[in-house]
Amino acid sequence: MKDYYHTFHIPVMGTGHSVDTPIRVAPLGITSVISLVDDILFEKIRKYYSEKYDFSYLKIPVNEKDGRAKRITAYLETVQKIVQIKIKNIKEQPFFVNNDKSKYFDLLPEEAPLKREYSRLLNMKDTPERDASAKDLTLKMKPGSIDVNIMVKLDRINFNDNGNLLGDEFSDAKVALRGYADSSLRSSIVFSAGINQSLFTYMTRFSDFYRDKIGEIKKKIILKVSDFRSALVQGKFLAKKGLEVHEFRIESGLNCGGHAFASNGYLLPDVLMDFKKKRKELAEKFLPLIQKYYKKMGWEYPESAINSRPLITVQGGIGTNGEVCRLREDFGMDMTGWASPFLLVPEVTAVDDSTRELLREAGEDDLYVSDISPLRVPFNNVYNTGSEKWTHEMAAKGNPGSPCRKGFLISDTEFTKLPICLASRQYQKSKLEEIDNTSLSDAEKERLRRQVVVKACICDHLGNGALIALGIIKEQNAPQSICPGPNIAWFKKFYTLREMVDHIYGRIPSLVSSERPHMFAKEIVMYVDYFEKQVVNCAYTHREIKTLREFKENLEDGMNICLDIAQKEPYREENLASIPPCVEKQKERLRSIYNNFEKVIAATSS
């Protein structure tokens, strides 16, 4: 990424916690990602920043025609305007002074050519040559990218006030895409949680996703993927429409924040090795399809783009510079993503004080993969959030569920003609009544009730922390949810941006204890935990049995790869020694779970 000087980015963190992160870090050259789910949240924060910077502000009402797209566009333009103001002010600052300009260069990785030029400047004598060098360095300063994220599964269909279905282009994800496409941003859009063919096809309506006459793409495409096959399938689908993938962003299926999309037992080192072996295949298979589309459209594919290749990056559970070195040197990753640790950096993320303190104190046992998401997808969580307390309190008062103010996660039609949310009061009341009217045992009824009332309104609650942190709402009126990865258990204080960046680049002693298990070891434990849960909930259909047998084999293969890695020389502060005992213990545990699984199969088939 020739126009980006850092070797890490800050991924999306829920709907609210990275909502204004670009305002905070882009002027210092760091790229981060905003979720496009919550346009209602955007409007409140746009009003806040408009007042802070004395911008004119005209409210975009909830019921305005195409209001969701307009709110998204307006917010992104506001963010960009603030970043431009801040980077301009930083550029105008003098060198040789402790200010944000020196901070911009100090934060850069040592291997960045711009950092080396800056170091030379600091050692130059006060001459016209130094003045020219300073001017050149200032011109090369670029803000980090204001990237955005669409979780493609969140594509609610919408209706007008008369209950009539709106056109396909008014589904949530397409409106979010349109809001981004209509903005003047020159950045990237991250698509996560699988493939949405209708959404990807909709992209063809916007020229910003294609190369211009000089070969540049104004709005680049990033695909978050869990394995090589997914990258190949999605990349081919896009390539047939002339759309190029700028970056494949690999994420651990479980050792991450937010929703957890587990692979079928494929551990991260296995996936990374697959990409390393086959990465040339990506460009080779995509380019002819892209060129064919350009020819069909009567466009000329720029000669300068012929040798372009997609970046391959990785995120999920990375905790030390030694692990970064492993990922870049062994697997050839171009960059890494760091999310959860930045939740403890007040300069970077919008988190209310109570929740940030909860994260600082959290140990490994406090962080868990929960069932609170109405999407029925595992959701990384921490105990005792404001959201959890409020949700339990409502259930205890006999008023379970939440008022569904935003409806981004509506999906269920068990009791209604139109979809509603599993966390809504409407759904939970109906479901609990149904459970009460069954002839099941009291114990079984109670188990089913707990499954119902655990669902939380993450639509609303994930944004509340940002609103509280900015002083827009009061904490007592706004339950807060957060979705950290388990890695945050090893970061035990609040950090400055400089501290965290220096930690990422290995310029200071590690911020985490030497006892912290390697990211690969942690992922192994999480996958065995997940396998155990899948076995407990297994209905022993032919498909489930086949899938779980494959899961076990894939997991064992991944553990063996981890053992091979553990035999190598560790990088500085890389705890490779934690991998062999972890593999030994988890292999034994996996065998025990699997043997019991096979015994049940044998008993039911005899």
pLDDT band, residue 159 (cuts 50/70/90): low
pLDDT value at position 51? 97
Residues 370, 448 within the same domain: yes
Task: Examine the pLDDT at 606 and tell me if it is beyond 90.
Answer: no
Domain of residue 415, residue span: 358-481
Q: Which two tokens stand for residue 390?
A: 């409020």
pLDDT value at position 411? 84
Q: Which residue has the tokens 């190369």?
A: 211
Secondary structure element (H or E) that encloses residue 19, with its range: none
| Residue 487 and residue 17 in contact, taking contact as beta carbons nearer than 8 Å | no
pLDDT value at position 203? 96
> How far lies 431's CA from each of 161, 323, 438, 494, 566, in Å?
27, 46, 11, 42, 49
- Summarize the confidence of residues 365-373 as an average pLDDT: 94
pLDDT tens sequence across 224-280: 998 999 999 999 999 999 999 999 999 998 999 999 899 999 999 999 999 999 999
pLDDT band, residue 1 (cuts 50/70/90): very low
Among residues 456, 481, 506, the one where a domain terminates is 481
User: Which sign, positive or negative, has the C-alpha torsion 94, 100, 106, 108?
Assistant: negative
Residues 372, 474 within the same domain: yes
Q: How far apart are CA 223 and CA 193, in angstroms?
A: 9
Lowest mean per-residue pLDDT among 176-185, 239-248, 297-306, 518-527: 297-306
Task: Classify residue 192: in a domain, yes or no.
Answer: no
- Summarize the confidence of residues 568-591 as an average pLDDT: 97
HSE of 486 in the Cβ direction (CA atoms, 13 Å)?
A: 24
- Summarize the confidence of residues 110-126 as an average pLDDT: 95
Q: How far apart are CA 556 and CA 79, in angstroms?
A: 46
Q: Which residue has the tokens 């670029």?
A: 142
Among residues 457, 481, 505, the one where a domain terminates is 481
Residues 582, 467 within the same domain: no
| Residue 265 and residue 226 in contact, taking contact as beta carbons nearer than 8 Å | no
pLDDT value at position 157? 74
**Which residue intervals of 437-506 are DSSP H helices?**
442-453, 458-469, 497-504
Among residues 434, 461, 481, the one where a domain terminates is 481
Cβ burial of 380 (10 Å; 0-12, 13-18, 19+) is: buried
Residues 369, 466 within the same domain: yes
Task: Examine the pLDDT at 133 and tell me if it is beyond 80.
Answer: yes
pLDDT value at position 163? 65
pLDDT value at position 542? 93
pLDDT value at position 194? 81
Q: How far apart are CA 579 and CA 564, in angstroms?
A: 10
pLDDT tens sequence across 4-63: 899 999 999 999 999 999 999 999 999 999 999 999 999 999 999 999 999 999 999 988
Q: How far apart are CA 151 and CA 130, in angstroms?
A: 48
Residues 526, 427 within the same domain: no
> How far lies 486's CA from each of 256, 266, 365, 559, 603, in Å?
7, 19, 9, 20, 37
Q: What share of the chain is helix, strand, coil (3-state, %, to 5)?
A: 50, 10, 40
What is residue 412's DSSP assignment? B
pLDDT value at position 370? 93
What pairing do the DSSP bridges indicate for beta strands 335-337 and 8-9?
A: parallel
What is residue 424's DSSP assignment? B
Q: How far apart are CA 227 and CA 223, in angstroms?
A: 11
Q: Which residue has the tokens 């868990």?
A: 368
Residues 362, 455 within the same domain: yes
Task: Classify residue 370: in a domain, yes or no.
Answer: yes
Task: Classify residue 491: in a domain, yes or no.
Answer: no
Q: In terms of Cα–Cα distance, which of 11, 14, 12 is closest to 462? A: 14
Residues 442, 524 within the same domain: no
pLDDT value at position 156? 72
Secondary structure element (H or E) that encloses residue 117, with its range: helix 113-122
Residues 475, 524 within the same domain: no
Task: Classify residue 203: in a domain, yes or no.
Answer: no
pLDDT value at position 25? 98
Task: Classify residue 394: in a domain, yes or no.
Answer: yes
Residues 475, 546 within the same domain: no
Which CB contacts under 8 angstroms, 24+ apart, belong to 423-426? 423/374, 423/455, 423/456, 423/457, 423/458, 423/459, 424/457, 425/399, 425/400, 425/401, 426/401
pLDDT value at position 63? 86
Residues 522, 597 within the same domain: yes
Task: Examine the pLDDT at 374 and tell me if it is beyond 60.
Answer: yes
Residues 383, 471 within the same domain: yes
Mean pLDDT rounded to a whole number for the chain: 94
Task: Classify residue 391: in a domain, yes or no.
Answer: yes
Inter-helix orientation angle 100-107/67-91, to 10°? 100
Task: Classify residue 500: in a domain, yes or no.
Answer: no
Domain count across the chain: 2
pLDDT value at position 412? 87
Task: Classify residue 190: in a domain, yes or no.
Answer: no
Q: Within a 10 A sphere around the Cβ of 538, how many other Cβ atoms?
A: 15
DSSP secondary structure letters along 194-255: S--HHHHHHGGG-GGGSB-TTS-BSEEEEEEESSHHHHHHHHHHHHTTTPPEEEEEEE-SSS
